Every structure is written in structure tokens, then in C-alpha cells.
Structure 1
């Protein structure tokens, strides 16, 4: 009968990992709905960016208080969960503290875990106070109502409970306390249970042990439904981020070739394109729905941490415009999830008469953007809201001719006069004076 707990543990472990794998496949499927784009260039620079931004948290410490607190939680997540490996082995084999044979190294390791657990508790408490007591404005923007706000708090509660369970598990583990092996924090918690029978303390320890590992599995599977998916996706997102200068916009090859023909009197309009180039126009200019975006933009949407740094830096948002770069990413993710569920229910996408444009993101938001790249610069995990805004603008202009009147006037002048101003080409001095 002693093997029954090990069997139960194996079933719980397989179920937790299996459900997580199912969600990962769904996530990958949804991201692959995006258009193809090549991000295989300059691998060394991409790995450097990933190490510097995702692993090294370089952009987080631009705001020191939040940055340092986040690094503590981040290290706690990475390092303390090394201890999960011991729990898994103990759970499957029925052993107890199997890594204790490492001696002094084990003492240092567990001691470090316990100190980190306390630091994580402090950091998470600070984060909760900033969100709910101080009420920093970026956590209370309109797009943060309802689930997004609750999700942020729920994650903090999750982390608090997991750290407390870890410390209680160690404090009530009598053999571990007798070993004096790294119990630098739990030794002060252990006396709280001195008045209880040994059997009761053992039940508390086993309960904390089970709740801790089950809580980690629940947390792992919760990630897919939470903004904290960035814990996993920050690494590929920073790797595949654009390496182009932030002020460099992408041009459609077909449009570029068309302009060259218009401006070069010696160009042959019937000449075949150079080898390796394709001047055929795309099926659709720009993007009106998530499937018109490329897969890196969809990866961006799932990676968004909802921290609001992009929106707090956005000059349009600061001046009262409706644009919030964070909302752009949240809306893109929500629409992508809706498309994914549609495919799950129907086997293939069934037209739902909805789109990212208008149903999720308004035209007013798109045209409020100044294209300044402040949101891209501010993002701690290299997300690019501007690329989505520009692709949707491109659709409005090139597919629907729905640009603002001022922009339409300018483009009409360029088409007719070769300049943004309403003067005949013969009147170049007027252009000079206008400029």
C-alpha cells in the first residue's frame, strides 16, 4: 500500500504536464496562423539580445524599484523551482530529500532557496501594494478592468502561497530540521509547531508538500490563460525581435518597384524583375485581422506582460488620445484566441463576421499613433505594437482608401504634382516657399 501515494503522484504529474503540453500545441498552432516572415539572420546578435533582455532583465531596471523587485521574483521562479526536481524524484520513487547526499552543497542550495523565498514574499507584497494601495495609474487604465486586473492580483497570491508552502514544508519536516541542512529561515518557523503532536506535524508537512507541487502544476497550466505567459515566451520573443533600426519602416517590394518605375524615366515597365526578387503584389495590403499579421507579431501578442510601460510612455496616450499600445497587444491576443477557439469548434475557421479592425481596435486608436517608437523602446521584452498599428493603417489606406482627409489630400498631391503641396510641377518656387 506504500506505493499508492507514488502512483497518485505520477498520475497528477502526468495529467499536469499533459494538459500543459496540450495548451502549448494550441499556442503554437495559433501563432502559426500568422504570415511567414524570416527571422533567421544574425543569430549571434539574436542570442545576445535574448541573453541581455530576457535572461539579464536589462530593460526592467530602467525603473529601479520595479526592476529590482522583478529580478528577485524572476530569480525565485528560476532557482527555487530547481527544488521541484527533488520533489518529483521523491514523489515518484518514495524517497525523502534524495539530493541530501550532496552534503554541504545541498545545505547552501536549500539555504539559498529559503532566503529567496522570503525575498520573493517581500517583492510580491510590494507589487501588491503598488497595484492596490498606491494604485499606480498604468495598472488602472480602462483596458485593465475586469479579468486583466484580477489576473495580475491572482498571480501575486499564487506566488505568495507557493513560497509560504515551501517554507512550511521545510519547517515541519523533522528529519530535515535535524539535519541542519540549509534551514536558515525555516528554523525560525519550526517552533510555531512545537506544541502539536509529531503525527499532526507530519500531516502538515505532507499537506504542504502535496499542495506545493500541485500548486506548481496548477500555476504551470494557468500560464496559458494569463499575462504571465511571458515567463516562457520572453526568450523566443526577444530572439526573434526585429534587428532593424527602430525608425526604419518595412516597404512592400511591389509598391517600391512601382514607385521606381514612376520616378525613373529610363525604367522598362515590361522588364522582368531581377533574379531572386518578386514584384507581384500581395493578396492583401496591410492587415485587418490577426491572420494578416506575421507570426512574430502574434508571438508578441502572447508575450505581452500587460505591465503598461508602453502606454505610460506613449505621447498620444499622455495627451488624452484613445490609443494605448498595451490595449493594441491585448486586443490582438484576444482576437487570436477567439479565432483559435473558432478553429477548435469547427475544425477550420468558420467566418464569424468579426475582425481585429473595428471589432477590437478602432480607427481612432490607429490614427492617434505618432509612430515615435516610444512604446517599442519601453517594452521590457521587445514587443512591437507599432508594427501592428502600421500594418492596419496600410490596410485602411491601400485597401479601403480610408485615410484621414489630410493624408488623402497629401497623397493626391504627391500623385498629381510629385510633392505634398497643391501646386503644379512648373511652380517649383511655390513648393520652396511652402516648405
Structure 2
């Protein structure tokens, strides 16, 4: 009974703490401006199924895709075992689902195979990051914390899978010894090879089995509450993020209603403008972006696929789309902490543009959309970059000389080139 009380208290505390942190994250996302992403619901559901559940965009790189799919499948399916652990912990039972007979044996056997695949995949990922040191895992934005964050999760997964298999090995051995409370149930295709490493003492085996059981569930609770501080929040946000993907042409500017009203009124004197609040062009800080942009930032996995295909980054320019997303998340977290301390309306003198993201970065972007196409969960760094540019040009009249020249030519000549529209077809004249 004491262990049940401890387990229930720990479960409630873990859920309460996660809910508290999740509420803060949602509050931070709501700092963004409203935007409607409820159109074409059927297409949105299919996008989520294909990209988030099916992970189709991962398979442009087959090797990491297969490894990631093993971890993903293991994470999802082994949660059935976690459900059993939860019920056992609350009611003081042991292997509550064992009454399923042959089906239960098949499930436990498949869980063990998946656990081994997860274990191997995480080891390979650790080797790729820390020994092979793949280039896309490096960059100015990949400071000590982002690198450590990835390693912490991979090491945790290795330890959890090791505990799971060791628990099953001890359990199977206790079953063979006829120990009380350990009913004969389950198939152990992987953990059977670990049984020879364990002692024959019933007392020690029970301690090992219980110790691994507690380690496994405590590890899961700790992992759950680590997510809000980690890039691994994509485990949760990947699904809404893909559902609310931008279905319009990427990089397309959205029109401001207040400006559209003015243009329509100029063209048609009989036009009756809609009641709209005047807004500002583009974005300087996170509260000027949309809530979808901010959710994108929380969903970023920091995998570096966007940066690895960015032509600006490849040619040595300062821009890294991954850094754009990480900077947006960091600034959003900073604004959220300011709200917690001082309430709404506090101005810390900082902004996303200039404090976090430099002008050189946003103007290095070619707007080619390669980053958005490469992202495995449909994150759109280009949308943030174009809004920061729009603010610089339309609100501050600050842009590179080459851009100013182009804008002047468009205004005066109707084209980016510095010659009269009347001379536009001179090239076609016979010499």
C-alpha cells in the first residue's frame, strides 16, 4: 500500500508539473498575432497523417530516417507497456494484462524487439553526433546546451530501454524460480540473453526487478517534464504543427486589410471600407509574428536539415534557418519570463530583430524556400525572415543599397531595372 501511495503521488505531481509548464508554453505561443489556419480541414488532416505520423519527409535521408522511425515506433508502441505499469502501480497488481494469454506474450516479445531497436538507434545517433561529428550538427547556434540536450535524451532512452530489458530478464527468472507474485506470462526473445548475467537469489532478483521498474517509470515522468525545456517538444507539437501548416505558396506576402481598404477606395470611389485597426508592417519582435510562427519555433528539432540545404549558408553567409527558429524560441522564452516577473507591458529594450537576429542574416536569405521544403515537420523559417524584412523596409526604411535601388526602380519604372518602360523591348529590335 505504501508503494501505491508513493506511485499515485508521484504520478499526480508529474502530471501537475507538466500541465503547469505546458500552460506557460501555450501562453508564450499566444503572444503571437492571430491567423486563420482552419481552412481545408481534410487536406490538413492528410498533411498531418503523411508528414507527422508517416514521417515521409524524413526519408529524403534514408539511413537516419530508418533509425528515427525505430525510435518513433518504439516510443509509441512501448507506451502500451507503460499503460500496464501505470495500472500495476496504482492498484498494486503485477502484469495486469497477462490474462490476454498468447496475445500478451506476443506483445511483450514485440516490445522487447522494439526496445532493442531503440537502444541500437540511440547508440548510433550518439556516435553520429559525438564521434563522427556530422557537419549539420554544428554551427554557431549549436552551443553547449543544444548539443548536451540531444545527448541527454539519447542517453536517457538508452538507460530506459536497458532498464526495461533488465526488468523483464529478472521477471522471467523469478517466474522460473516460482517466486510469489510473479505469474508466468510474457515472451522474452531479447532479455533471455541477459538472464545469465543475473544472480540466482530470489531476494536480489526481486530488488533488481523492482528497481528497474521504478527507474523506468520515474525516468518516463522525468522525461515528460524535461520536454518543455528541450527541443524534443516536437514529440508533442509535430502533430498540430503539421496540421496548421501553410497551404498557400511559401514566401507569399499577406495583405494588411487596412492597406487593402485604402487601395480599393482609391480604385473605386464607391467602395465602402471595412472597419479595421491600423497595424504595422512586418515584425520586429515575437509578438509581431503569428502564433503559428511561434509554435514552429517550439517544434524545431534542431536537426539542421534546413541549414544544410540553405544556399546562403553553404556559400559561407551568416544565415542559418535553424538559428532563426532557435533565436525566435529563445526570445519568446525571454518575453515569457519577463511576463512572469513583471506582468504584461514590460519593455526590456530588446527585440527579436537586432538583439537576436541580425540584419545581415535576414538579407542573406534568397527566399528560395529550400529550408521549408527540407524540414521534416513543415516548419517555415522563411515566413519569419520575410516579416523581419518587411518591418525593416516598410517601417524603418532600412534596407541594403541594392534593395533600395531595386525598390526605387520598381516605383519609377515599373520594373527592377534602371531603364524606361518604353525601352523594355529594345533587345528584340533587329540590329
Answer yes or no: same fold by TM over 0.5: yes
Give structure 1 stretches of 5+ with no counterpart.
none
In structure 1, what is the equivalent of residue 406 of structure 2? Answer: 410
C-alpha displacement at 1:260, in angstroms? 6.2
In the alignment, which residue of structure 2 is the partner of 1:116? 114
Asked if structure 2 preserves the Cα contact closer than 8 Å seen for 1:170 and 1:176, the reply is no
Residue 214 (structure 1) aligned to one of 206, 215, 218: 218
State the Cα distance separating 1:237 from its structure 2 match: 0.1
**Counterpart-to-counterpart distance in 1, 2:270 and 2:277:** 15
CA separation in 1, counterparts of 2:277 and 2:427? 35
Whether the aligned pair in 2 keeps the contact of 1:309 and 1:375 (CA below 8 Å) is yes
Aligned residue for 1:39, secondary structure, equals coil
Cα drift, residue 249 of structure 1: 3.5
Residue 428 of structure 1, aligned match among 392, 407, 421: 421
* Residue matched to 2:375: 379
Determine which of 170, 182, 192 is the counterpart of 1:187. Answer: 192
Given that 1:339 and 1:349 are in contact with CA atoms closer than 8 Å, whether structure 2 keeps it comes out as no
Tell me what 1:205 maps to.
209
- State the alpha-carbon separation in 1 of the partners of residues 397 and 116 from structure 2: 58
Do the aligned partners of 2:174 and 2:205 also contact (CA within 8 Å) in 1? no
**How far is the alpha carbon of 1:200 from its aligned partner?**
1.1
- TM-score by structure 2 length? 0.94
Moved more, 247-256 or 374-383: 247-256
From 13, 16, 19, give the equivalent of 2:17: 19
- How much has 1:281 moved relative to structure 2? 6.6
| Counterpart residue number, 1:357 | 353
Closer/same/farther in 2, CA of residues 114 and 165 from structure 1, 3 Å limit = same
Map of 1:43 onto structure 2: 41
Work out whether residues 258 and 279 of structure 2, in 8 Å CA contact, stay in contact via their aligned partners in 1: no
Query: Out of 371, 395, 402, which is 1:399 matched to?
Result: 395
Shift of 1:414: 2.6
List gaps (5 residues or longer) in structure 2. 179-183
1:135 equivalenced with 2:133 (yes/no): yes
In 2, the alpha carbon distance for the partners of 1:36 and 1:302 equals 17
**1:420: how far off?**
3.0
Alignment partner of 2:285 out of 283, 289, 304: 289
SS in 2 for 1:307: coil
Q: Distance in 2 between matches of 1:105 and 1:345?
A: 53
Q: Is the 8 A contact 1:335 1:356 kept in 2?
A: yes
| Moved beyond 6 Å, runs of 4+ | none
Query: C-alpha separation between the residues in 1 aligned to 2:68 and 2:401?
Result: 45
2:174–2:206 Cα contact (<8 Å) kept: no
Please point out which of 236, 245, 250 is paired with 2:249.
245
TM-superposed deviation, 1:24? 1.0
Instruction: Report the TM-score when normalising by structure 1.
Output: 0.93
Measured against aligned partners, the alpha-carbon deviations of 1:135-177 in whole angstroms (never above 9, x if no partner) come to 1101011211210011011111010000001011111114556
What's the CA shift for 1:244?
1.0
**C-alpha RMSD of matched pairs (Å):** 1.8
* 1:60-139 pair list within 5 angstroms: 60-139=58-137
- SS of aligned partner of 1:245: coil
